[in-house]
Every structure is written in C-alpha cells, then in structure tokens.
Amino acid sequence: MSDLNLDEKDFTEEVLISDLPVLIDFWAEWCMPCQQIAPVIEELAEEYKGKVKIRKVNIDEAKELATVHEVMSIPNLIFFRDGKKVEQLAGSVSKETIKKAIEDKLLK
C-alpha cells in the first residue's frame, strides 16, 4: 500500500482544509485501468511534492466519500483548491492530461 492512501476520517484535514491544492485518485483494486494509472499518480506525487498534495481513495474502503463526490466510474480524479472541487477527470487519462489539469486548475 502506498503512503498516498487516504481514508474517510482524514479527508477533511487532508483535503478540505489543506493549505495546498489536492488531487484525489478514486480507485479500486479490481479496476484494471486504475492499476494502469497508479504509477503515473505515484510519479506526479513526487514531481509536485510541496506544491500539490496527491492522495488515493479506495472506493471499496471509503464508499461514503465516493458517493458524496459523485464518483460514478473509476479511475476518477478530482482536483480540489481551497477545499472546493475545481475539476474532475473520469476514465483512463494520460499523464499529460493530468499535468495540464494540475497546472491550469491547481497552480494558476
């Protein structure tokens, strides 16, 4: 398990009241596209360390978070700035697409 994993009890502190913008990857172990995008998420977490907080939420362990944030399909990336959702990307997306969303929605 990666140290990027986040659960329901830490969500408010880690995301909603975070000083940094946050990218959450909603995923599940049984989801093959989620497994394919996982290394990209890990790379981006290193690349944006100190600028953007990147976390992962397993929807099987945090069903309520998935429901509240209207995660209907996975992988599902939700971008938060100042505790508010500013972007959402569903499905298998490229590293370049994710980086563009980070730069445009979280760092401008």
Indicate if 31 belongs to the active site. Answer: yes
Active-site choice (15, 34, 37, 40): 34
Task: Mark whether 90 is an active-site residue.
Answer: no
106, 65, 41, 84 alpha-carbon torsion, rounded to 10°: 0
- Alpha-carbon gap, residue 31 to 20, rounded angstroms: 28
Residue with tokens 């990307």: 89
Active-site annotation holder among 15, 31, 71, 74: 31
- What residues are labeled active site? 31, 34
